């Protein structure tokens, strides 16, 4: 269990503890969107927009929200900045710039930097199109990401400097939101390839898949992990690689529906899924919309 201090960024009453499958997990709901916790330190990585200076600042902030350290800042001309990820050792970060709901013609890029903000590099700058949603391998030597570079949203693999790109999936469906297992050569991702059509006949529901990787990153066994009419999305691994944590609407819409009537989401509640036997555990059950989640290890 990760022990964070409480503060203005953490919802009042946190943490909420839950016990399942011989595990004790503490849940820390965070108010600010788009944050990511450091794997070892009691702080969050987040961003804030400065309209006056027309820039976006990246900050490492403690849970009180009172003490912050600027890691980097970039011009707002880069577009939206999102989907931050720390490397497992906390020494590197990766993120994307560009439109969240962009298509093949939209410009989006993947960046890496040291956690202190140095060595900031756009590692897909020389590739036109839409690249995004990166995640580090356990040793931080490789990055898995979603890209339209082959014409359709598929999953790709590359070295952390942007070299050695390899396509992992090739399917007419939408493959996105990949995550790298921290303990072995395996990724998880979200796809609508087997989903059910909605009432309009336009969109298919999203499910979660895992893909084994060979020694040199060759795609191997594909396994469908969820099969539910509701959307499953934003998947991440537990630190030991034994579980997946994800957001899902399988529990139905709660009070969050009238709160955001113009923006229905694939979110709802947070679930954990044990990989070896598909044991499913519901971690949250409240009236609020639960967004993307991250699972960090015990405090050191």
Q: Is the peptide bond before 111 cis (omega within 30 degrees of 0)?
A: no
Residues above pLDDT 90, as percent of the chain = 46
The pLDDT value recorded for residue 257 is 52
68 domain-assigned: yes
The residue assigned the tokens 């995550």 is 179
- Rounded CA-CA distance 266/36 in Å is 20
The residue assigned the tokens 């044991």 is 279
CA dist 129 → 100, 103, 105, 160 (Å): 13, 9, 6, 19
Please answer whether residues 147 and 138 qualify as being in contact, where contact means their C-beta atoms are separated by less than 8 angstroms: no
Domain range enclosing 47: 1-78
The pLDDT value recorded for residue 100 is 67
| CB-based burial label for 281 (10 Å; 0-12, 13-18, 19+) | middle
193 domain-assigned: no
What are the strands, taking DSSP E only, across 9-108?
16-20, 23-27, 36-37, 43-50, 55-62, 68-75, 81-86, 92-97
175 domain-assigned: no
What digits encode the pLDDT tens for the residues 84-137?
A: 899 999 999 999 888 766 777 888 999 999 888 889 899 999 888 899 999 999
- Rounded CA-CA distance 277/264 in Å is 31
57 domain-assigned: yes
280 domain-assigned: no
Compute the C-alpha angle 16/22/24, nearest 5°: 20
The pLDDT value recorded for residue 159 is 97
Number of domains in the chain: 1
24 domain-assigned: yes
229 domain-assigned: no
SS3 197: strand
The pLDDT value recorded for residue 65 is 67
- Rounded CA-CA distance 82/165 in Å is 22
The pLDDT value recorded for residue 254 is 58
Q: What is the mean pLDDT of the chain?
A: 85
> Chain-centre distance of CA 123, in angstroms?
19
Identify the helix (H) or strand (E) that includes residue 246: strand 243-248
Compute the C-alpha angle 110/80/295, nearest 5°: 65
253 domain-assigned: no
The pLDDT value recorded for residue 253 is 62
What digits encode the pLDDT tens for the residues 31-53?
A: 666 678 888 887 788 877 777 77
């Amino acid at each position: 269990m990760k022990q964070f201090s409480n503060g203005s960024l953490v919802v009042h009453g946190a943490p909420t503890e839950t016990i399942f499958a011989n595990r004790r997990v503490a849940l820390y709901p965070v108010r600010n969107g788009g944050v990511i916790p450091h794997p070892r330190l009691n702080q969050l990585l987040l961003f804030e927009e400065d309209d006056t200076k027309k820039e976006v600042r990246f900050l490492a902030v403690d849970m009180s929200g009172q003490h912050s350290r600027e890691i980097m800042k970039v011009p707002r001309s880069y577009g939206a900045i999102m989907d931050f990820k720390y490397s497992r050792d906390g020494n590197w970060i990766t993120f994307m710039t560009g439109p969240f709901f962009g298509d093949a013609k939209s410009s989006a890029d993947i960046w890496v930097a040291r956690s202190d903000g140095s060595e900031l590099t756009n590692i897909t700058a020389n590739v036109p199109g839409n690249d995004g949603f990166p995640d580090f391998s356990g040793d931080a030597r490789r990055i898995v990401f979603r890209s339209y570079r082959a014409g359709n949203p598929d999953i790709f693999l590359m070295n952390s400097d942007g070299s050695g790109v390899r396509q992992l999936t090739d399917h007419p469906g939408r493959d996105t939101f990949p995550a790298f297992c921290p303990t072995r050569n395996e990724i998880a991702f979200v796809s609508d390839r087997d989903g059910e059509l909605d009432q309009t006949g336009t969109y298919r529901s999203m499910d979660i898949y895992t893909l084994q990787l060979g020694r040199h990153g060759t795609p191997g066994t594909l396994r469908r992990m969820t099969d539910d009419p509701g959307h499953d999305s934003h998947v991440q691994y537990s630190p030991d690689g034994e579980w997946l944590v994800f957001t899902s609407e399988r529990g139905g819409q709660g009070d969050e529906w009238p709160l955001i009537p113009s923006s229905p989401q694939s979110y709802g509640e947070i679930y954990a899924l044990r990989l070896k036997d598909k044991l499913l555990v519901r971690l949250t059950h409240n009236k609020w919309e639960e967004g993307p989640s991250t699972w960090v290890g015990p405090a050191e």
